[in-house]
Chain A
Amino acid sequence: MLNSLMTIAMPLLLASLAGLISEQAGELNISLEGMILLAAFSSIFGYNLTHSLFIALTMGMGSSLFLTFLYVLFRGPMGCDPFVTGLGLNLLTPSLISILSVALFGTQGTVRADSSHLISANVTLLVGMGLYLAMVYLETYSPFGLLVRTTGKCPGRVREKGYRPETVIRKAHFLGGIYAGVAGSFLSLSIGAFVPNMSAGKGWLALVALYGANKNVMALLPVVLVFSLFESLSHSLQGYIGLPHEIWNLFPYLLSLLIIVVINGRDDLISKKKGIKKTSPLLK
């Protein structure tokens, strides 16, 4: 039970951290879903090629960094809209994977790693929590975190200080790319196989968790744990209560919507009492 909770929670936690850092820099990267999927695929490919977990993880990170590079390229020199570009990358990855999968493994379906259960839940927990604490430190206490947060809130001030906001945003995206890559690698390495569409909305759930936690690193951990607890409960309760599994699988989505409604609604109430006018949370 605890093991399954951790294997569900850690990828989600890392993915929402990836979203968090880009959001703090003022430009939410919504291509998390695509990054997770591509990383999951390429870490299985890396493992089957070299039989080394290290290489597998590196391949995962490298592939999601490649997507981040594409994002930055389209965003920077070509001046595309961040939101539409992110959607485009999300759409591109499944087809990219299906072409690569046919070329490398000769199948469009599930790709098995040469041995199953490559990393245990303990390793996932250890690495995940390590990366989480690193992000807490980076966000809250390091000069880079301060720079990133200031860029999100007031780019002009950053420019006055002699930094380029574009560069800061780019760095934040690349850092997020690393986190999303590890998230994707964990997803596929923990079951020892890549299944098409295995991310199944995880990138979007991570964004919901991010907004549920009100973009606060500290609050992110409990929110993600609640999401994951519910998902693992819905897996284990399937045997006892006679609801079809398709319906059970929907509960995490439903719960995530409820959480975000409750938390955002509470915030609204508080800011209304204080007379603060809030701007729309995403994009605008």
Chain B
Amino acid sequence: MGSEYKRAGFLMVICLALSMILILFLSPSPLKGLQYFLIKPFSSPMNGGNTLNKFTLLLLSASAVLLSFRGGEFNLGGEGQICLGGMVTLFLLIPLDSVSGFWGITLALVLSFVVGGLMGWLIGFLKVSFSVSEVLSSYISSLIVMGIFSYVVSGPLKDRESYLITTKEIPRQFQFETWMKPSQLNGSLIVALALTLVLYLFLFRNRIGFEWRLGGSNSHFAQYCGINTGRNTMAVLATSGALYGLTGAIAVMGTYHRGLVDFYSGYGWNGMAVSLMAGHNPLLLIPSSLFFSHLSMGSDMLNLLGRINIPLNDIIVAFTFLLVTAGRRKRA
């Protein structure tokens, strides 16, 4: 347990140092750049709220990926499943003008949960029944979903009056109420934090969660113990897909209020980096999401105000992937 905390802290320091070095070398005015990167994300209520909102979405998608990693499955289709959840929400809510807010939101949440879960289940089903590796099927299926979404946004659902490639806004009553006014922060923060706690309790204080973890760390042993690993594989992937779908619905209703063409981009891979840095420990997800939301916001601020264009966020995410498993060689 202790080593996980140390590793996460150590990684954060390395990533922070790396981003500072990059800013110092690539920015035309390094000190200003550092200031934009480090301080701006929390300098005003608006920026702070937006950072916390990013934190919410990252936490949600990271819990989805954490579940699949703990269950021993690599669900790489996160962005596609987020996209699917968002798409379902848009299709459902845009025509619903007269329904009250509560019912519309509940329906959208449930439907996106179910549809995302179905997509995850399909990946698990292909793995168990046809031994198609979930790594490939999840990634390719997510490419398909994202392609369909980009068609939907530029074709049937496109808002003709907007100069962006986007759909119409969802009706007012379905948009979550924002907290720190100009920012996008909303009640989903509580949902995400509660979900993380539930995930922890489920994985570490529950028999089914224990079975899933056992299957994830050694499926032969789990099978030997009489656990139905095939069924668990499908259940793990379905739940992971369902959580991703929920993330998509929350992103649409809480943050974007419309179907922007790339609204899902980043959350899949960033969420994965968050979970990797946390060592797949649900409690560590919170500091680690906070770190990455600050990173993502700081990188946006730097590019917006610092008159440079470096994809700092993507670079640090990539380095997290490269460094996070260092020295953890599996004994074959």
Contact = CB atoms under 8 A, between A and B. Distances in A.
Contacts of A261: 126, 130, 132
Interface in B288-332: 309-311, 314-315, 317-330, 332
B328 A79 contact: yes
A268 B151 contact: no
A84 B325 contact: yes
Contacts, number: 137
A207 interface: yes
B183 interface: no
Given A254-B144, A257-B137, A282-B133, 10 more contacts: A79-B326, A88-B319, A98-B310, A208-B136, A211-B133, A244-B155, A246-B148, A247-B147, A281-B133, A283-B74
A92 interface: yes
Given A92-B322, A244-B151, A249-B147, A79 B327 contact: yes
A160 interface: no
B133 to A, nearest CB: 4
Contacts of A81: 325, 328, 330
B278 to A, nearest CB: 14
B319 A250 contact: no
B220 to A, nearest CB: 9
B133 A78 contact: no
B173 interface: no
Contact of B147 (A92, A246, A268, A284): A246
B187 to A, nearest CB: 32
Interface residues of A, number: 50
Contacts of A84: 276, 321-322, 324-325
11 contacts: A30-B135, A80-B324, A88-B322, A98-B309, A98-B311, A201-B143, A204-B140, A205-B140, A246-B150, A264-B131, A284-B219
Interface of B: 26, 74, 76, 126-127, 129-133, 135-137, 139-141, 143-144, 147-148, 150-151, 154-155, 219, 269, 272, 276, 309-311, 314-315, 317-330, 332
B254 to A, nearest CB: 26
A278 interface: yes
Given A79-B327, A201-B140, A249-B147, A260 B132 contact: yes
Determine the main DSSP class of A at the interface with B. helix
Interface in A229-284: 244, 246-247, 249-250, 253-254, 256-257, 260-261, 264-265, 267-268, 278, 280-284
Contacts of A201: 139-140, 143
A108 B310 CA distance: 10
Nearest to B153: A246
Contacts of A205: 140
Interface in A189-207: 201, 204-205, 207
B247 to A, nearest CB: 19
A88 B76 CA distance: 13
Contacts of B140: 201, 204-205, 208, 253, 256-257
B124 to A, nearest CB: 12
A105 interface: no
Nearest to B152: A246
Contact of A278 (B131, B137, B332): B131
Interface in A90-135: 91-92, 94-96, 98-99, 102, 108
Contacts of A264: 130-132
Given A94-B314, A102-B309, A253-B144, A283 B329 contact: no
Contacts of A59: none
B203 to A, nearest CB: 20
A213 to B, nearest CB: 13
Contacts of B321: 84-85, 87-88, 91
A92 B130 CA distance: 32
